[in-house]
Structure 1
Amino acid sequence: MSTDDPLMTWAPAACTLPTAERPLREAEFDELFGTSSAGVERPDPTHLRIALDPTPEVAARAAALAVRETRCCSFFTFAVVASAGQVRLDVTVTDAQVDVLDALQRRAGEAA
Structure 2
Amino acid sequence: MSIVVPDACTLPTAERPLRLAEFDDLFATAVRRVEPITATHVRLWLTGPAGLEATVRDLTARETACCSFLTFAVTGEPADDGTALTLDVEVPGKYADVLASLSERAGTVSARGTS
Give the structure-2-normalised TM-score. 0.83
Identity of aligned residues (%): 48
* Cα root mean square deviation, aligned: 1.6
Structure 1: tracts of 5 or more residues without a match: 3-9
Q: Which runs of 4+ in 1 moved over 4 A?
A: none
Specify which structure has the bigger relative contact order, considering alpha-carbon pairs within 8 angstroms and separated by 6 or more residues: 2
Kindly tell me the number of residue pairs found equivalent between the two proteins: 105
Distance 1:108 1:27 in 2: 12
Q: 1:13 matched to which residue of 2?
A: 6
* Equivalent of 2:98 in 95, 100, 106: 100
Q: Are 1:45 and 2:53 an aligned pair?
A: no
Alpha-carbon deviation of 1:17?
1.5
TM-score norm. by structure 1 comes to 0.85
For the pair 1:58 / 2:52, whether they are aligned, the reply is yes
Displacement after TM superposition at 1:70 (Å): 0.5
Q: Which runs of 5+ in 2 are unaligned?
A: 111-115
Q: CA deviation at 1:65?
A: 0.4
Are positions 1:81 and 2:81 aligned together?
Answer: no
Write the distance in 1 (CA, Å) between the matches of 2:17 and 2:100.
18
